[in-house]
Structure 1
Amino acid sequence: MGTTAVRIYISVDIEGVAGVQHPRQGRLGEAAHEAARLLMVGEANAAVRGAFTGGATEVTVADSHGPMSNIPPDRLDPRARLVQGTPRPGSMTEGLTEDFDGLVLIGWHAAAGARGVLAHTISGRAFAEVRVNGLLAGEPTLFGGHAAELGVPLLAVSGDDCLCEEVTAQFPRARRIVVKHALGAAAADSLAPAAACALIEEDVAEAVRKAGCRAPEAPCSPPLDLRVTLTQQAYADAAALLPGTERIGSRCIRFGAETHEEAIRVLTAFALMAAGLD
């Protein structure tokens, strides 16, 4: 008798990783980033180990921070596939399909406009706040919502306590893994990396064991009404050029989307436009 395939998708960011609390740690080329990306791949590997211990037969890891080329490929657990590079159509969940059995988010952070270590949504440069159907939206709101539309449940999330409070409210059945407590925008009380990795490995294993019992959930249902506050008026000037957008303030843009994937693509376009104006 053949073994039933269990496919797990792990998206890894850097701001929610234990030991990361300063913007320099997320900037490619900075000396601080070299150390931070090793912490990032350490937590990625802990999640991969946990997924396989919990019964996964296939694991995909998506490098999902900034340029999305942070994880040293030769440091990643060789059992996992690695998605890297940007821009890419699916952004932080590129390649996620209905064939996966669960989504795990490692090293993620709180939403733009909320309290938390290095809190932002998609782009700290571009967005001061993103609301979906009136709800303050972070990256789990968007990408967990996209997964739910595919029929894939959000199984577990790791990051600071502020992120985990957001996830508790929006995805109450997802496992929350607190690896640090926010003391400010660039300050944290963190577990040691080894302790954080041990916790992630244990909790991801347990989440994957229960994946078959989990139904997808999402805080927002289509059609989606997005109201986006940009950080600069010039960014809103550019965003307003896109068809389907409505200017509702000096820095505010409104648009509609039929799916979370569509919303993510428009927001990604806004972020790329903002980057091009600097």
Structure 2
Amino acid sequence: MFADRAKILIRSGKGGDGHVSFRRELYVPNGGPDGGDGGRGGDVIFEVDEGLNTLQDFRHRRKFAAKDGEPGGKRRCHGKDAEDIVLRVPEGTVIKEAESGKVIADMSGENRRQVVLKGGKGGLGNQHFATATMQIPKYAQPGQPSQELWVQLELKVIADVGLIGFPNVGKSTFLSRVTNARPKIANYHFTTLNPNLGVVDLSDGRGFVIADIPGLIEGASEGMGLGHEFLRHIERTRLMIHVVDAAGTEGRDPVEDVYKINKELSAYNPEIAARPQVIAANKTDAIYAEGEDPVKRL
């Protein structure tokens, strides 16, 4: 199954504790404090990886933790800073706080790298707490605690054009003809279980991306069929091509199909339904109806 959602636990590193020690050398019987500072804990960073297109890496591993900073040492030795943990995600991933649903980061456009949890600062050693009245401080500062958070990752594919329409109207075939994509094509419902992406190359060297959005049926906005899983993939498209079975080979009326799908889009997000839409009358070679031409009706 296409991995476009994942819930994971992330944890930043704890700061290392400051150290309590005193200078002890030959001929220096009462040396001052020389405890070193603790190191910084590791951050949790999300980074866009162009080579990824699913969240598969987060399906089987749920916890990701950065290392803690090292504690300080004697003779003013500072603890080592911990390495950050970098989690690589595909472009278009939205990072949300799992409990509240609040968006923390949207990994698209210019946003390629985001620190989501900061590691704790290291604590100060006892050398910092010596004063004229307290010359032998026997305490040091503990490192700052780590932060822990459950986050929900959601992938919304990045495409300029979205192909929408009922199952089995020919969206995948259309995609295979106009782009370099080679989706699975067969004559049964829900052949397409994953959003397929294809690039259209134009003669002037430019191009754009088309996404085949599967799973739209009546009731999709309420979670019927596969619609609820994939409606969010339309959110980033600028234009939709609405593929319609003009011949009504499955017994549906093509004009009613257009209204039904647009009703689902409006129910999901009215702003998406208001975007530009091109209607593509498909399967015209199978029209045998007497009387009014269904393409003209469309």
Greater helix percent: which structure?
Answer: 1
Query: Normalised by the size of structure 2, how large is the TM-score?
Result: 0.22
**Normalising by structure 1, what TM-score?**
0.23
